[in-house]
A and B are shown apart, each in its own frame.
Chain A
Protein backbone atom coordinates (compact mmCIF):
# COMPACT_ATOMS: atom_id res chain seq x y z
CA UNK A 1 0.00 0.00 0.00
CA UNK A 2 2.70 2.44 1.03
CA UNK A 3 4.72 1.48 -1.99
CA UNK A 4 1.78 2.30 -4.19
CA UNK A 5 1.39 5.66 -2.48
CA UNK A 6 5.05 6.43 -3.03
CA UNK A 7 4.65 5.46 -6.64
CA UNK A 8 1.69 7.74 -6.88
CA UNK A 9 3.59 10.61 -5.30
CA UNK A 10 6.42 10.02 -7.75
CA UNK A 11 4.02 10.17 -10.66
CA UNK A 12 2.59 13.39 -9.25
CA UNK A 13 6.03 14.92 -8.90
CA UNK A 14 6.91 13.92 -12.43
CA UNK A 15 3.77 15.50 -13.77
CA UNK A 16 4.36 18.62 -11.71
CA UNK A 17 7.87 18.86 -13.13
CA UNK A 18 6.91 18.23 -16.74
CA UNK A 19 3.84 20.48 -16.68
CA UNK A 20 3.50 22.65 -19.78
CA UNK A 21 1.80 25.27 -17.63
CA UNK A 22 3.92 25.83 -14.54
CA UNK A 23 2.20 27.89 -11.88
CA UNK A 24 5.24 29.40 -10.19
CA UNK A 25 8.79 30.48 -10.84
CA UNK A 26 10.09 27.56 -8.80
CA UNK A 27 8.07 25.02 -10.78
CA UNK A 28 9.25 26.49 -14.09
CA UNK A 29 12.87 26.35 -13.00
CA UNK A 30 12.72 22.85 -11.53
CA UNK A 31 10.88 21.63 -14.61
CA UNK A 32 13.64 23.01 -16.79
CA UNK A 33 16.30 21.34 -14.67
CA UNK A 34 14.39 18.05 -14.66
CA UNK A 35 14.14 18.05 -18.45
CA UNK A 36 17.89 18.65 -18.73
CA UNK A 37 18.46 15.78 -16.29
CA UNK A 38 16.22 13.48 -18.34
CA UNK A 39 18.24 14.32 -21.44
CA UNK A 40 21.54 13.85 -19.61
CA UNK A 41 20.42 10.56 -18.08
CA UNK A 42 20.02 9.07 -21.53
CA UNK A 43 23.73 9.59 -22.17
CA UNK A 44 25.52 6.51 -20.80
CA UNK A 45 29.09 7.77 -20.99
CA UNK A 46 28.02 11.06 -19.45
CA UNK A 47 26.43 9.19 -16.56
CA UNK A 48 29.59 7.12 -16.16
CA UNK A 49 31.62 10.35 -16.02
CA UNK A 50 29.23 11.82 -13.48
CA UNK A 51 29.56 8.63 -11.43
CA UNK A 52 33.37 8.87 -11.44
CA UNK A 53 33.34 12.54 -10.45
CA UNK A 54 30.81 11.92 -7.69
CA UNK A 55 32.94 9.00 -6.48
CA UNK A 56 35.96 11.32 -6.36
CA UNK A 57 34.01 13.79 -4.24
CA UNK A 58 32.77 11.08 -1.88
CA UNK A 59 36.20 9.53 -1.52
CA UNK A 60 37.69 12.94 -0.77
CA UNK A 61 35.06 13.69 1.87
CA UNK A 62 35.27 10.30 3.58
CA UNK A 63 38.99 9.70 3.01
CA UNK A 64 39.53 9.31 6.74
CA UNK A 65 37.05 6.43 6.88
CA UNK A 66 37.98 4.73 3.64
CA UNK A 67 41.74 4.68 4.02
CA UNK A 68 42.81 1.70 6.16
CA UNK A 69 46.19 3.20 7.13
CA UNK A 70 47.65 6.60 7.87
CA UNK A 71 48.77 8.17 4.58
CA UNK A 72 51.84 9.83 6.07
CA UNK A 73 53.14 7.33 8.64
CA UNK A 74 54.86 4.29 7.22
CA UNK A 75 55.02 0.80 8.68
CA UNK A 76 58.09 -1.16 9.60
CA UNK A 77 60.78 -0.13 7.16
CA UNK A 78 62.49 -3.52 7.36
CA UNK A 79 59.50 -5.73 6.62
CA UNK A 80 56.84 -3.57 4.97
CA UNK A 81 58.75 -1.67 2.29
CA UNK A 82 57.67 -2.01 -1.35
CA UNK A 83 55.23 -4.85 -0.76
CA UNK A 84 53.24 -5.91 -3.84
CA UNK A 85 49.44 -5.49 -3.84
CA UNK A 86 47.74 -7.91 -1.46
CA UNK A 87 44.62 -8.05 0.69
CA UNK A 88 46.46 -6.22 3.46
CA UNK A 89 47.69 -3.52 1.12
CA UNK A 90 45.33 -3.28 -1.86
CA UNK A 91 47.81 -1.28 -3.90
CA UNK A 92 50.96 -2.35 -2.19
CA UNK A 93 53.33 -0.15 -0.19
CA UNK A 94 55.95 2.37 -1.21
CA UNK A 95 59.61 2.78 -0.32
CA UNK A 96 58.75 4.33 3.05
CA UNK A 97 56.43 1.40 3.85
CA UNK A 98 53.31 3.57 3.48
CA UNK A 99 50.08 2.02 2.20
CA UNK A 100 49.65 3.28 -1.39
CA UNK A 101 45.86 2.80 -1.37
CA UNK A 102 45.55 5.09 1.64
CA UNK A 103 47.77 7.66 -0.02
CA UNK A 104 45.77 7.53 -3.25
CA UNK A 105 42.55 7.96 -1.28
CA UNK A 106 43.92 10.96 0.59
CA UNK A 107 45.46 12.29 -2.62
CA UNK A 108 41.94 12.68 -4.00
CA UNK A 109 41.55 15.62 -1.62
CA UNK A 110 44.47 17.42 -3.20
CA UNK A 111 43.12 16.69 -6.68
CA UNK A 112 39.66 17.89 -5.74
CA UNK A 113 41.13 21.02 -4.18
CA UNK A 114 43.05 21.80 -7.37
CA UNK A 115 40.04 21.14 -9.61
CA UNK A 116 37.65 23.05 -7.38
CA UNK A 117 39.82 26.11 -6.84
CA UNK A 118 40.82 26.41 -10.47
CA UNK A 119 37.16 26.16 -11.51
CA UNK A 120 36.12 28.76 -8.93
CA UNK A 121 38.89 31.20 -9.85
CA UNK A 122 39.26 30.76 -13.60
CA UNK A 123 35.63 30.37 -14.71
CA UNK A 124 34.23 33.67 -13.38
CA UNK A 125 37.32 35.62 -14.43
CA UNK A 126 37.18 34.18 -17.94
CA UNK A 127 33.43 34.74 -18.22
CA UNK A 128 33.60 38.30 -16.99
CA UNK A 129 36.54 39.33 -19.14
CA UNK A 130 35.16 37.61 -22.24
CA UNK A 131 31.59 38.85 -22.02
CA UNK A 132 32.67 42.41 -21.17
CA UNK A 133 35.13 42.52 -24.06
CA UNK A 134 32.60 41.02 -26.48
CA UNK A 135 29.68 43.15 -25.37
CA UNK A 136 31.38 46.54 -25.45
CA UNK A 137 33.73 45.93 -28.36
CA UNK A 138 36.00 48.80 -29.44
CA UNK A 139 38.91 49.73 -27.23
CA UNK A 140 37.56 47.80 -24.22
CA UNK A 141 37.70 44.68 -26.34
CA UNK A 142 41.19 45.48 -27.62
CA UNK A 143 42.65 46.10 -24.17
CA UNK A 144 41.02 43.09 -22.51
CA UNK A 145 41.89 40.71 -25.30
CA UNK A 146 45.52 41.84 -25.45
CA UNK A 147 45.77 41.21 -21.71
CA UNK A 148 44.26 37.82 -22.36
CA UNK A 149 46.82 37.20 -25.07
CA UNK A 150 49.62 38.04 -22.66
CA UNK A 151 48.36 35.52 -20.15
CA UNK A 152 47.80 33.01 -22.90
CA UNK A 153 51.41 33.38 -23.98
CA UNK A 154 52.76 32.21 -20.59
CA UNK A 155 53.71 28.58 -20.63
CA UNK A 156 51.97 27.06 -17.63
CA UNK A 157 54.89 25.17 -16.19
CA UNK A 158 57.30 28.07 -16.61
CA UNK A 159 54.90 30.43 -14.88
CA UNK A 160 54.47 27.89 -12.12
CA UNK A 161 58.26 27.70 -11.83
CA UNK A 162 58.41 31.47 -11.50
CA UNK A 163 55.71 31.45 -8.85
CA UNK A 164 57.39 28.72 -6.92
CA UNK A 165 60.68 30.57 -7.15
CA UNK A 166 59.03 33.71 -5.82
CA UNK A 167 56.66 32.26 -3.22
CA UNK A 168 58.21 28.93 -2.39
CA UNK A 169 56.98 25.49 -3.43
CA UNK A 170 53.54 24.27 -2.33
CA UNK A 171 50.19 23.21 -3.66
CA UNK A 172 48.63 26.66 -3.13
CA UNK A 173 51.13 28.39 -5.37
CA UNK A 174 50.72 25.68 -7.96
CA UNK A 175 46.96 26.22 -7.94
CA UNK A 176 47.39 29.98 -8.35
CA UNK A 177 49.75 29.44 -11.25
CA UNK A 178 47.35 27.03 -12.94
CA UNK A 179 44.34 29.29 -12.38
CA UNK A 180 46.14 32.33 -13.78
CA UNK A 181 47.08 30.50 -16.95
CA UNK A 182 43.78 28.70 -17.46
CA UNK A 183 41.24 31.53 -17.65
CA UNK A 184 42.28 33.02 -21.04
CA UNK A 185 40.74 30.24 -23.15
CA UNK A 186 37.44 30.74 -21.30
CA UNK A 187 37.61 34.46 -21.92
CA UNK A 188 38.13 33.87 -25.63
CA UNK A 189 35.27 31.37 -25.74
CA UNK A 190 32.93 33.69 -23.83
CA UNK A 191 33.89 36.58 -26.09
CA UNK A 192 33.19 34.58 -29.24
CA UNK A 193 29.80 33.54 -27.86
CA UNK A 194 29.03 37.11 -26.81
CA UNK A 195 29.80 38.42 -30.27
CA UNK A 196 27.06 36.22 -31.70
CA UNK A 197 24.63 37.03 -28.87
CA UNK A 198 25.35 40.77 -28.79
CA UNK A 199 23.34 41.55 -31.90
CA UNK A 200 20.45 39.21 -31.12
CA UNK A 201 17.07 40.87 -31.10
CA UNK A 202 16.41 39.93 -27.50
CA UNK A 203 19.47 41.90 -26.43
CA UNK A 204 18.27 44.89 -28.46
CA UNK A 205 14.90 44.43 -26.81
CA UNK A 206 16.25 44.57 -23.25
CA UNK A 207 18.40 47.54 -24.21
CA UNK A 208 15.23 49.28 -25.29
CA UNK A 209 13.72 48.58 -21.89
CA UNK A 210 16.43 50.85 -20.54
CA UNK A 211 18.56 48.14 -18.91
CA UNK A 212 22.11 49.05 -17.86
CA UNK A 213 25.09 47.33 -19.46
CA UNK A 214 25.83 45.49 -16.21
CA UNK A 215 22.32 44.10 -16.08
CA UNK A 216 22.46 43.03 -19.72
CA UNK A 217 25.84 41.32 -19.38
CA UNK A 218 25.05 39.61 -16.09
CA UNK A 219 21.41 38.74 -16.63
CA UNK A 220 21.24 38.15 -20.35
CA UNK A 221 24.64 37.45 -21.91
CA UNK A 222 26.36 35.41 -19.19
CA UNK A 223 23.55 32.80 -18.87
CA UNK A 224 23.86 32.11 -22.59
CA UNK A 225 27.66 31.77 -22.48
CA UNK A 226 27.64 29.79 -19.28
CA UNK A 227 26.84 26.40 -20.73
CA UNK A 228 29.62 26.37 -23.30
CA UNK A 229 32.13 27.66 -20.74
CA UNK A 230 31.06 24.99 -18.23
CA UNK A 231 31.50 22.33 -20.90
CA UNK A 232 34.93 23.68 -21.73
CA UNK A 233 35.98 23.86 -18.07
CA UNK A 234 34.85 20.29 -17.50
CA UNK A 235 36.75 19.06 -20.52
CA UNK A 236 39.81 21.03 -19.37
CA UNK A 237 39.72 19.48 -15.92
CA UNK A 238 41.62 16.45 -17.13
CA UNK A 239 44.38 18.75 -18.37
CA UNK A 240 44.39 20.67 -15.09
CA UNK A 241 44.71 17.48 -13.07
CA UNK A 242 47.58 16.44 -15.30
CA UNK A 243 49.27 19.84 -14.92
CA UNK A 244 48.95 19.65 -11.16
CA UNK A 245 50.37 16.15 -11.27
CA UNK A 246 53.13 17.36 -13.57
CA UNK A 247 54.05 20.08 -11.09
CA UNK A 248 54.03 17.51 -8.32
CA UNK A 249 56.18 15.24 -10.46
CA UNK A 250 58.72 18.04 -10.89
CA UNK A 251 58.67 18.65 -7.17
CA UNK A 252 57.07 22.08 -7.56
CA UNK A 253 53.57 21.29 -6.40
CA UNK A 254 52.56 19.45 -3.30
CA UNK A 255 55.55 18.81 -1.08
CA UNK A 256 56.40 15.49 0.57
CA UNK A 257 55.08 13.85 2.57
CA UNK A 258 51.73 15.25 1.34
CA UNK A 259 50.04 12.51 -0.73
CA UNK A 260 49.68 14.01 -4.20
CA UNK A 261 49.28 11.73 -7.20
CA UNK A 262 51.89 13.42 -9.41
CA UNK A 263 54.47 13.50 -6.65
CA UNK A 264 53.72 9.85 -5.88
CA UNK A 265 54.45 8.89 -9.48
CA UNK A 266 57.71 10.84 -9.28
CA UNK A 267 58.66 8.95 -6.15
CA UNK A 268 57.79 5.63 -7.75
CA UNK A 269 59.82 6.37 -10.87
CA UNK A 270 63.00 5.12 -9.20
CA UNK A 271 61.60 1.62 -8.78
CA UNK A 272 59.51 1.45 -11.93
CA UNK A 273 61.12 -1.72 -13.24
CA UNK A 274 61.13 -3.83 -10.09
CA UNK A 275 58.18 -2.40 -8.18
CA UNK A 276 55.75 -1.29 -10.91
CA UNK A 277 52.78 -0.66 -8.60
CA UNK A 278 54.36 2.28 -6.80
CA UNK A 279 54.07 4.55 -9.84
CA UNK A 280 51.21 2.76 -11.59
CA UNK A 281 48.54 3.04 -8.88
CA UNK A 282 48.47 6.85 -8.62
CA UNK A 283 48.82 6.95 -12.41
CA UNK A 284 45.72 4.82 -12.68
CA UNK A 285 43.87 7.21 -10.37
CA UNK A 286 44.83 10.20 -12.54
CA UNK A 287 43.75 8.29 -15.63
CA UNK A 288 40.33 7.33 -14.26
CA UNK A 289 39.50 10.78 -12.87
CA UNK A 290 40.63 12.54 -16.07
CA UNK A 291 38.53 10.16 -18.13
CA UNK A 292 35.57 10.81 -15.83
CA UNK A 293 35.76 14.56 -16.37
CA UNK A 294 36.04 14.09 -20.12
CA UNK A 295 32.97 11.84 -20.24
CA UNK A 296 31.06 14.28 -18.05
CA UNK A 297 32.05 17.18 -20.30
CA UNK A 298 30.98 15.33 -23.44
CA UNK A 299 27.69 14.42 -21.81
CA UNK A 300 27.08 18.01 -20.73
CA UNK A 301 27.82 19.21 -24.24
CA UNK A 302 25.22 16.89 -25.68
CA UNK A 303 22.63 18.29 -23.29
CA UNK A 304 23.56 21.96 -23.03
CA UNK A 305 25.09 22.93 -26.35
CA UNK A 306 22.32 23.60 -28.85
CA UNK A 307 24.82 23.51 -31.73
CA UNK A 308 25.81 19.92 -31.03
CA UNK A 309 22.21 18.75 -31.24
CA UNK A 310 20.35 17.44 -34.30
Chain B
Protein backbone atom coordinates (compact mmCIF):
# COMPACT_ATOMS: atom_id res chain seq x y z
CA UNK B 1 0.00 0.00 0.00
CA UNK B 2 1.30 3.42 -0.92
CA UNK B 3 2.05 5.97 1.78
CA UNK B 4 0.27 8.80 -0.02
CA UNK B 5 -2.66 8.14 -2.30
CA UNK B 6 -4.44 10.96 -4.07
CA UNK B 7 -7.44 9.96 -6.15
CA UNK B 8 -9.23 12.22 -8.61
CA UNK B 9 -8.45 15.37 -6.68
CA UNK B 10 -10.52 18.40 -7.69
CA UNK B 11 -9.92 21.94 -6.48
CA UNK B 12 -12.01 24.92 -7.49
CA UNK B 13 -11.57 28.54 -6.45
CA UNK B 14 -13.99 31.41 -6.63
CA UNK B 15 -17.74 31.34 -6.52
CA UNK B 16 -20.86 32.09 -8.55
CA UNK B 17 -20.12 32.75 -12.17
CA UNK B 18 -16.36 33.04 -11.82
CA UNK B 19 -15.14 29.55 -11.01
CA UNK B 20 -11.57 28.51 -11.64
CA UNK B 21 -10.84 24.80 -11.84
CA UNK B 22 -7.33 24.67 -10.40
CA UNK B 23 -7.19 20.88 -10.38
CA UNK B 24 -9.26 18.52 -12.49
CA UNK B 25 -9.04 14.91 -11.45
CA UNK B 26 -5.42 14.57 -10.37
CA UNK B 27 -4.34 11.15 -9.10
CA UNK B 28 -0.98 10.06 -7.83
CA UNK B 29 0.51 7.67 -5.33
CA UNK B 30 3.83 7.85 -3.55
CA UNK B 31 5.53 4.90 -1.83
CA UNK B 32 7.22 5.24 1.51
CA UNK B 33 10.80 6.45 1.19
CA UNK B 34 10.27 7.57 -2.37
CA UNK B 35 10.92 11.01 -3.84
CA UNK B 36 8.20 12.08 -6.23
CA UNK B 37 8.41 15.15 -8.46
CA UNK B 38 5.70 17.34 -9.93
CA UNK B 39 6.73 19.53 -12.87
CA UNK B 40 4.73 22.17 -14.66
CA UNK B 41 4.62 25.80 -15.68
CA UNK B 42 2.86 28.55 -13.75
CA UNK B 43 -0.86 27.92 -13.55
CA UNK B 44 -0.46 24.20 -14.07
CA UNK B 45 -1.74 23.52 -10.56
CA UNK B 46 1.41 21.82 -9.36
CA UNK B 47 1.62 23.79 -6.11
CA UNK B 48 -2.13 23.44 -5.59
CA UNK B 49 -1.70 19.67 -5.29
CA UNK B 50 0.55 20.19 -2.26
CA UNK B 51 -1.62 22.90 -0.77
CA UNK B 52 -4.74 20.78 -1.14
CA UNK B 53 -2.99 17.80 0.40
CA UNK B 54 -2.20 19.69 3.58
CA UNK B 55 -5.47 21.57 3.81
CA UNK B 56 -4.45 25.00 2.54
CA UNK B 57 -6.62 24.76 -0.57
CA UNK B 58 -10.29 23.74 -0.64
CA UNK B 59 -10.85 20.23 -1.97
CA UNK B 60 -14.08 19.94 -3.94
CA UNK B 61 -13.76 16.34 -5.03
CA UNK B 62 -11.64 13.22 -4.77
CA UNK B 63 -9.83 11.62 -1.87
CA UNK B 64 -6.52 12.00 -0.10
CA UNK B 65 -5.29 8.96 1.84
CA UNK B 66 -2.26 8.61 4.06
CA UNK B 67 -1.37 4.99 4.87
CA UNK B 68 -4.72 4.00 3.39
CA UNK B 69 -6.70 6.23 5.78
CA UNK B 70 -8.57 9.29 4.42
CA UNK B 71 -7.28 12.51 5.97
CA UNK B 72 -9.56 14.49 8.28
CA UNK B 73 -10.84 17.93 7.28
CA UNK B 74 -9.74 20.14 8.89
CA UNK B 75 -6.46 18.31 9.31
CA UNK B 76 -5.75 17.09 12.84
CA UNK B 77 -2.59 17.32 14.92
CA UNK B 78 -1.59 13.76 14.00
CA UNK B 79 -1.56 14.74 10.31
CA UNK B 80 0.78 17.66 10.89
CA UNK B 81 3.16 15.40 12.80
CA UNK B 82 3.43 13.12 9.79
CA UNK B 83 3.34 15.65 6.94
CA UNK B 84 5.23 18.94 6.81
CA UNK B 85 5.95 21.44 4.08
CA UNK B 86 8.81 23.68 2.95
CA UNK B 87 7.79 26.78 1.05
CA UNK B 88 9.19 28.52 -1.99
CA UNK B 89 10.20 31.90 -0.71
CA UNK B 90 12.55 31.83 2.28
CA UNK B 91 12.07 35.59 2.64
CA UNK B 92 8.32 35.19 3.18
CA UNK B 93 8.10 31.89 5.02
CA UNK B 94 9.70 33.03 8.28
CA UNK B 95 7.90 35.49 10.57
CA UNK B 96 9.92 38.72 10.39
CA UNK B 97 9.56 39.50 14.11
CA UNK B 98 10.31 36.04 15.51
CA UNK B 99 13.76 34.72 16.36
CA UNK B 100 14.86 31.41 14.87
CA UNK B 101 14.47 30.01 18.37
CA UNK B 102 10.81 30.93 18.44
CA UNK B 103 10.22 29.66 14.91
CA UNK B 104 11.57 26.26 15.89
CA UNK B 105 10.18 25.96 19.41
CA UNK B 106 6.62 26.94 18.56
CA UNK B 107 5.71 23.68 16.80
CA UNK B 108 7.25 21.79 19.73
CA UNK B 109 5.08 23.74 22.14
CA UNK B 110 1.94 23.17 20.05
CA UNK B 111 2.47 19.42 19.99
CA UNK B 112 3.72 19.16 23.57
CA UNK B 113 7.20 17.82 22.85
CA UNK B 114 9.69 17.48 25.69
CA UNK B 115 13.41 18.50 25.71
CA UNK B 116 12.62 21.54 23.56
CA UNK B 117 15.94 23.33 24.03
CA UNK B 118 17.91 20.26 23.01
CA UNK B 119 15.67 19.58 20.04
CA UNK B 120 15.99 23.13 18.72
CA UNK B 121 19.77 23.04 18.94
CA UNK B 122 19.95 19.62 17.37
CA UNK B 123 17.69 20.67 14.49
CA UNK B 124 19.94 23.65 13.75
CA UNK B 125 23.03 21.45 13.76
CA UNK B 126 21.37 18.94 11.45
CA UNK B 127 20.65 21.50 8.76
CA UNK B 128 24.22 22.74 8.99
CA UNK B 129 23.62 26.03 10.77
CA UNK B 130 24.85 25.42 14.31
CA UNK B 131 23.48 26.64 17.60
CA UNK B 132 25.00 30.10 17.09
CA UNK B 133 22.06 30.97 14.85
CA UNK B 134 19.46 30.22 17.47
CA UNK B 135 18.66 33.73 18.65
CA UNK B 136 19.02 35.58 15.39
CA UNK B 137 16.19 37.18 13.46
CA UNK B 138 15.44 36.18 9.86
CA UNK B 139 16.71 39.50 8.52
CA UNK B 140 20.13 38.64 9.89
CA UNK B 141 20.30 35.54 7.66
CA UNK B 142 20.94 35.01 3.96
CA UNK B 143 18.39 33.35 1.68
CA UNK B 144 20.11 29.99 1.86
CA UNK B 145 20.34 30.12 5.64
CA UNK B 146 16.67 31.00 5.90
CA UNK B 147 15.73 28.05 3.74
CA UNK B 148 17.78 25.84 6.05
CA UNK B 149 15.77 27.18 8.98
CA UNK B 150 12.55 26.42 7.08
CA UNK B 151 13.79 22.87 6.52
CA UNK B 152 14.68 22.56 10.22
CA UNK B 153 11.19 23.75 11.12
CA UNK B 154 9.62 21.13 8.86
CA UNK B 155 11.82 18.40 10.38
CA UNK B 156 11.45 19.30 14.03
CA UNK B 157 8.15 17.43 14.44
CA UNK B 158 9.87 14.34 13.02
CA UNK B 159 7.42 13.86 10.14
CA UNK B 160 7.62 11.05 7.58
CA UNK B 161 6.56 13.11 4.57
CA UNK B 162 7.96 16.46 3.48
CA UNK B 163 6.17 18.46 0.81
CA UNK B 164 8.66 20.71 -0.98
CA UNK B 165 7.15 23.62 -2.92
CA UNK B 166 9.88 24.99 -5.20
CA UNK B 167 12.36 24.90 -2.32
CA UNK B 168 15.28 26.34 -4.29
CA UNK B 169 13.77 28.54 -6.99
CA UNK B 170 14.43 31.74 -5.01
CA UNK B 171 18.07 30.84 -4.38
CA UNK B 172 21.28 31.39 -6.35
CA UNK B 173 22.63 28.38 -8.23
CA UNK B 174 25.47 27.71 -5.82
CA UNK B 175 23.14 27.91 -2.81
CA UNK B 176 20.63 25.72 -4.60
CA UNK B 177 23.24 22.98 -4.87
CA UNK B 178 23.89 23.17 -1.11
CA UNK B 179 20.20 22.99 -0.23
CA UNK B 180 19.54 20.11 -2.65
CA UNK B 181 22.46 18.20 -1.14
CA UNK B 182 21.09 18.84 2.35
CA UNK B 183 17.65 17.56 1.33
CA UNK B 184 19.24 14.50 -0.23
CA UNK B 185 21.26 13.72 2.88
CA UNK B 186 18.30 14.20 5.24
CA UNK B 187 16.15 11.86 3.18
CA UNK B 188 18.81 9.16 3.29
CA UNK B 189 19.42 9.57 7.03
CA UNK B 190 15.81 9.67 8.11
CA UNK B 191 14.10 7.62 5.45
CA UNK B 192 11.86 10.54 4.52
CA UNK B 193 9.34 10.62 1.72
CA UNK B 194 9.44 13.71 -0.51
CA UNK B 195 6.94 15.25 -2.86
CA UNK B 196 8.83 17.98 -4.69
CA UNK B 197 7.21 20.61 -6.89
CA UNK B 198 9.36 22.56 -9.31
CA UNK B 199 9.29 24.32 -12.65
CA UNK B 200 12.88 23.18 -13.18
CA UNK B 201 13.12 19.79 -14.87
CA UNK B 202 16.78 19.47 -13.93
CA UNK B 203 16.05 19.87 -10.21
CA UNK B 204 13.25 17.30 -10.34
CA UNK B 205 15.34 14.90 -12.38
CA UNK B 206 18.16 15.25 -9.86
CA UNK B 207 16.00 14.77 -6.79
CA UNK B 208 13.21 12.38 -7.76
CA UNK B 209 12.93 8.79 -8.92
CA UNK B 210 9.50 9.33 -10.42
CA UNK B 211 7.76 12.44 -11.66
CA UNK B 212 4.54 13.75 -13.04
CA UNK B 213 4.09 16.52 -15.65
CA UNK B 214 1.13 18.83 -15.17
CA UNK B 215 -0.62 21.36 -17.40
CA UNK B 216 -3.81 23.36 -16.81
CA UNK B 217 -4.69 21.47 -13.65
CA UNK B 218 -4.41 18.08 -15.26
CA UNK B 219 -1.81 15.35 -15.35
CA UNK B 220 -0.05 15.18 -18.71
CA UNK B 221 1.88 12.04 -17.88
CA UNK B 222 3.81 10.21 -15.22
CA UNK B 223 7.27 8.91 -15.94
CA UNK B 224 10.39 7.65 -14.25
CA UNK B 225 13.63 9.56 -14.05
CA UNK B 226 15.18 7.10 -16.47
CA UNK B 227 12.43 7.72 -19.01
CA UNK B 228 12.91 11.48 -18.69
CA UNK B 229 16.66 11.18 -19.18
CA UNK B 230 16.15 9.00 -22.26
CA UNK B 231 13.56 11.47 -23.63
CA UNK B 232 11.23 8.49 -23.67
CA UNK B 233 8.06 10.54 -23.62
CA UNK B 234 4.97 10.19 -25.70
CA UNK B 235 3.56 13.66 -25.03
CA UNK B 236 4.46 16.75 -27.06
CA UNK B 237 4.13 18.98 -24.04
CA UNK B 238 6.78 17.10 -22.09
CA UNK B 239 9.04 17.10 -25.12
CA UNK B 240 8.66 20.89 -25.49
CA UNK B 241 9.50 21.35 -21.82
CA UNK B 242 12.58 19.19 -22.21
CA UNK B 243 13.78 21.10 -25.26
CA UNK B 244 13.15 24.46 -23.63
CA UNK B 245 15.04 23.38 -20.51
CA UNK B 246 18.15 22.71 -22.53
CA UNK B 247 18.61 26.39 -23.31
CA UNK B 248 18.23 28.53 -26.39
CA UNK B 249 18.60 27.12 -29.86
CA UNK B 250 18.87 29.23 -32.98
CA UNK B 251 16.82 26.79 -35.07
CA UNK B 252 13.11 27.36 -34.54
CA UNK B 253 11.25 25.00 -32.26
CA UNK B 254 7.83 23.87 -33.53
CA UNK B 255 5.00 25.68 -31.76
CA UNK B 256 2.94 23.67 -29.38
Contact = CB atoms under 8 A, between A and B. Distances in A.
A and B touch in the complex (CB under 8 A): yes
Interface of A: 20-25, 27-28, 32, 200-202, 204-211, 215, 219-220, 223-224
A208 B56 contact: yes
B93 A224 contact: no
Nearest first, the 8 closest Cβ-Cβ pairs linking A and B are A209-B107, A210-B80, A201-B93, A28-B135, A22-B135, A201-B92, A201-B87, A202-B95
B93 A205 contact: yes
Contacts of B133: 21
A58 B186 CA distance: 59
Most B-side CB within 10 Å, residue of A201, A211, A224: A201
Nearest to B102: A25
B96 A209 contact: no
Contacts of A201: 87-89, 92-93
Contacts of B56: 204, 207-208
A230 to B, nearest CB: 14
B38 interface: no
Interface of B: 54, 56, 75, 77, 80-81, 84-85, 87-89, 92-99, 101, 106-107, 110-111, 132-133, 135-137, 140, 150, 153, 157
A223 B92 CA distance: 16
B80 A202 contact: no
B106 A211 contact: yes
B135 to A, nearest CB: 4
Contact of B136 (A20, A202, A208, A211): A20
B130 to A, nearest CB: 10
Contact of B137 (A23, A24, A32, A209): A32
Contacts of A21: 132-133, 135-136
Most B-side CB within 10 Å, residue of A32, A206, A224: A206
A224 B135 contact: no
Given A24-B135, A209-B106, 15 more contacts: A21-B136, A22-B136, A25-B101, A28-B135, A28-B137, A32-B137, A200-B92, A201-B88, A201-B92, A202-B96, A204-B87, A205-B85, A205-B94, A209-B107, A209-B111
Contacts of B77: 210
29 contacts: A21-B133, A22-B136, A23-B135, A24-B135, A25-B99, A25-B135, A27-B135, A28-B135, A28-B137, A200-B92, A201-B87, A201-B88, A201-B93, A202-B92, A202-B96, A204-B56, A204-B87, A204-B93, A205-B85, A206-B95, A208-B84, A209-B111, A209-B153, A209-B157, A210-B77, A210-B111, A211-B106, A215-B110, A224-B97
